[in-house]
Structure 1
Amino acid sequence: MTSDHELRAAPSATARDRTFPEVSARIDRLPSSRWHAARRLLLGSVTFIAGFDQLLIAYALPLMRAEWQLGPGELTACVMSGAIGGLIGGPLIGMLADRFGRTRLVLVTTTLTGLSSLLIALSPGVGVFCALRAIQGIGIGGEIRSAAILMAELAGRGKRGRAVLLYELAFPAGLTFAAVASIALPVIGWRPLYLIGAIPLFLIYPIYRLMPESPRWLAVHGQSERALAVVERIERAVAESTGRPLDPPQFDGTAAPTGRARARDLFSRRYLRRSVTTSVMWFGGFFVNYGLTTWLPTIYLNVYHLSLSQALWYTLITSAAGLCGSFAAAAYVDRIGRKKTLLAGFAIGGALLIPLALIAGSGAVQVLIWSTLSAAFIFAANITMYVYSAEVFPARFRAAASSVVGTWSAVGILLGPVVVSGLLGLGATTAVVFGVLALVGLGTAAIALLCEETAGRPLEEAAG
């Protein structure tokens, strides 16, 4: 049987104009199925490890500080390096995914993430560690965004939000797993845990064999024969897994996206509002998320003088709450819509940090309670951003646009911990720290009021 990777067709604008509406209509009417679930599980396994890798630094930092005798600047560099990699690599990965295909870039970034994590475990010093974490950051950011777009373009319209977020749940699950695994740090050290990050290397071949290229991307690039062949295979697999025939496609007049993708399209009158609002929400949500979670173990240790074991357990509870919030978002995002999910997540998540800003000298238990409740809502909003960003830009530059605006999450990941570290270094109380995070969360909620609702609409209509 000819594989998806062996089919080729010369690009043709005429073929694109004819094929794209058919491909879109046929995919939009697909129900959720075991075929979709199996692909979510495959890509989700990689994203699970990416989440684990992303947050592991928060728990490894106290041990690395002791091993390498790190000062404040070196500690900050260890935290920042992964975000810098994502900041640099995000737009590049997106442009490459629009040019060469979603699945190819998933394969490239998965390889990059696995190899860099393997080498991190062997780092001889902090300089090499930071350089490898930057490379890892490129891979992690590229993989989760390329895969999210691929899942969105393969899902039917009615359950698109649920399909993408069920896949994206793997990332906060990985964050939580990092907290769970960190309990073993005092016994085994930090290096063995980074070896876990090499697991995606074993998934490269299954992804190559089982993940099709996005038919929407193929149709946009004029590869009509290949696009239709992929759709037919998906339809057969979905019909077989559901045990019932598919509904006939409903052609809604969707036109093929025209013109070459250009960076300035993001700032055109048509897309400027979307570009600004999504960029701000990516930044604000992840500023609060990582400003909160990255330094919690250190705050518990240095400010409240908890033992390392107790500090890690407290942080695990907060991460678990974030995972629960992400599950809730996946369950209800198609029912209540993207806009309400984002607004509630940012507004309530920010508001729940206000008590910590108002209660002077808050104890460790108060920090645990309020930060845990806040994390549940902030995580829910942040995970929703993956599906929302994939829906508000057209197929011809969807990956590039999503990566450019999503790069602001890397800025948030970078600046959130830096700001918290700077405030603590200047002698600010934890009340000031939590007050700043609360204000950023509430400000992000105000921007969410400007969102457009995309739930239940055909993908290209929502992006139009």
Structure 2
Amino acid sequence: MWASSVGYMLDGLDLMVLSFTLPLIIAGLSLSTVEGGALSTITMMGAVVGGIIFGILADKYGRVKVFSWTVLIFSLFTGLSAIAIGFWDFSIYRFLSGLGLGGEFGIGMTLVTEAWPKEKRSRATSGVAVGYQAGIILASVVTAIIAPHFGWRGVFLAGVLPAIFAFWVRRGLKEPEMWERIRENNNKRLHKKVPIKQLFDSPRKLGITIGLIIICGVQNFGFYGVMTWVPTALAQDVGFSFKGTTLWTVVTTIGMVLGILIFGILADKFGRKPSFIIFQICSAVGIWIYFQFTIPVLLILFGAVLGFLVNGMMGGYGAILSEHYPTEVRATAQNVVWNIGRAIGGFGPLAIGIMALHGSISSALGLISGGLCHSCTGNVFLNTRDKRKRD
């Protein structure tokens, strides 16, 4: 869990470092705002492609081995980003570093779910999910300390150090016994190409995969929408200062961490599906209520509640994705479903920005509330029996 959490920390660190340093990059490389925004999209595209590729490889060659490959790729091209001289070479480095990042979530979650006992599985995946929030905090600290003295290039060079640490943490890991057992019993099938079509090869599997993609897509839509636009909405609609929006971000992130950890406990105790439905409904209602507030203190304090509900469900995705697919395609399923959902969710900030052209950002953020209500329908496709019984 520790090794997987550190790996997922790289995901949050990388994406937020790019976000925090983007104004410096645009100025330093003389980029347009469109080119600057494209760097984030290109990174996400790399993550989707890398997630699919490395998920398949992890099912064929082992979780730990491929996990280490992803860190090496990320380290190399994050470091090379520091020597970029223009948009095109920077885009290539970002896409290739995204390939490494894309494998982190699914492989790490698969590794943990196959190593931990089923009655504590959601708590374990919650521990991994918290790594992303740690990455956000680390990105803000690294940028604040290094950027004023060494610019954005120094920040990207420093970003290689956590990757080296993640590689060191994993050096003693062994493959999960569950995967080793499957390899010994069915060696030939495991080393054939694992086709993605196995996620859709029956009406039941098709329904499960579609349902999981829906809830993953809405989860990412909500996260990126909230973290991208709420600080701007608070500045424009309520008059928050930069310090005020920074405080909101810190408080909200704390709420997210608590939500993730508590969700893991609830999912282990009461089941995955009920926990998801309760959090989805509460999130939809909570977002609508939140934007009725106008008092700054309440907006900051209830930011923690917002983070708790909207991002708390991150604690359960690793478990619920793993438990719906057999061992031989589990890493593929994790990365394909999650990264397709992340690609869909990546359009959240764009959709909210377009809607805000015809109204306020606050009213546009109501789209997330509707999306969370819609995501409850995704649970209809999931198995109703308790999937914790599955190894």
Confirm or deny a common fold (TM above 0.5): yes
- 66-75 vs 414-423, which deviates more? 66-75
* Shift in Å, 1:78: 2.8
Q: Match for 2:39: what amino acid?
A: C
Give the Cα separation in 2 of the matches to 1:423 and 1:380. 26
Gaps of 5+ in 2: none
**Partner residue, 1:404:** 336
Give the Cα separation in 1 of the matches to 2:363 and 2:279. 22
Task: Give the conservation status (yes or no) of the 8 Å contact 1:114–1:200.
Answer: yes
**Partner residue, 2:181:** 219
- 188-197 vs 284-293, which deviates more? 188-197
* Shift in Å, 1:288: 0.7
Q: 2:159 aligns with which of 178, 188, 197?
A: 197
* Shift in Å, 1:367: 5.0
**Partner residue, 2:199:** 266
Task: Give the conservation status (yes or no) of the 8 Å contact 1:49–1:196.
Answer: no
Per the normalisation by structure 1, the TM-score is 0.74
Task: Give the conservation status (yes or no) of the 8 Å contact 2:147–2:154.
Answer: no
* Residue 61 of structure 2 corresponds to residue 61 of structure 1: no
Q: 1:155 aligns with which of 97, 102, 116?
A: 116
**Partner residue, 2:209:** 275
Task: Give the direction of change, closer, same or farther, for the CA distance of 1:122–1:307 in structure 2 (3 Å limit).
Answer: farther
Q: For residues 242-291 of structure 1, what are the alpha-carbon distances to aligned partners after superposition, in whole Å with 9 as ceiling and x for unaligned? A: xxxxxxxxxxxxxx99x984332222123122111111111010011011
Q: 1:446 aligns with which of 377, 381, 391?
A: 377
Give the Cα separation in 1 of the matches to 2:146 and 2:360. 28
RMSD over aligned CA atoms reads: 3.1
**Partner residue, 2:136:** 175
The answer to which structure has the higher helix fraction is: 2
Task: Give the conservation status (yes or no) of the 8 Å contact 1:106–1:142.
Answer: yes
- Seq. identity, %: 21
- 141-150 vs 56-65, which deviates more? 56-65
Q: Match for 1:389: what amino acid?
A: L
Give the Cα separation in 1 of the matches to 2:298 and 2:40. 26
**Partner residue, 1:9:** none
Q: Secondary structure at the match of 2:203?
A: coil
Alignment of 1:64-463 (within 5 A): 64-68=25-29, 70-181=31-142, 183-184=144-145, 187-188=148-149, 189-198=151-160, 199-208=162-171, 210-222=172-184, 261-267=194-200, 268-300=202-234, 306-356=240-290, 368-424=300-356, 426-452=357-383, 454=386, 456-459=388-391
Task: Give the conservation status (yes or no) of the 8 Å contact 2:15–2:40.
Answer: no
* Shift in Å, 1:77: 1.1
* Shift in Å, 1:47: 2.2
* Shift in Å, 1:358: 5.6
* Shift in Å, 1:324: 1.6
Q: Match for 1:327: what amino acid?
A: L
Q: Secondary structure at the match of 2:325?
A: coil
Give the Cα separation in 2 of the matches to 1:363 and 1:65. 35
The number of residue pairs the alignment matches comes to 386
Q: Match for 1:428: what amino acid?
A: G
Per the normalisation by structure 2, the TM-score is 0.86
Q: Secondary structure at the match of 1:116?
A: helix
Q: Match for 2:379: what amino acid?
A: A
Q: Match for 2:323: what amino acid?
A: E
Task: Give the conservation status (yes or no) of the 8 Å contact 1:343–1:448.
Answer: yes
Larger Rg: 1
* Shift in Å, 1:375: 1.8
Task: Give the direction of change, closer, same or farther, for the CA distance of 1:177–1:427 in structure 2 (3 Å limit).
Answer: farther
Task: Give the direction of change, closer, same or farther, for the CA distance of 1:357–1:328 in structure 2 (3 Å limit).
Answer: same
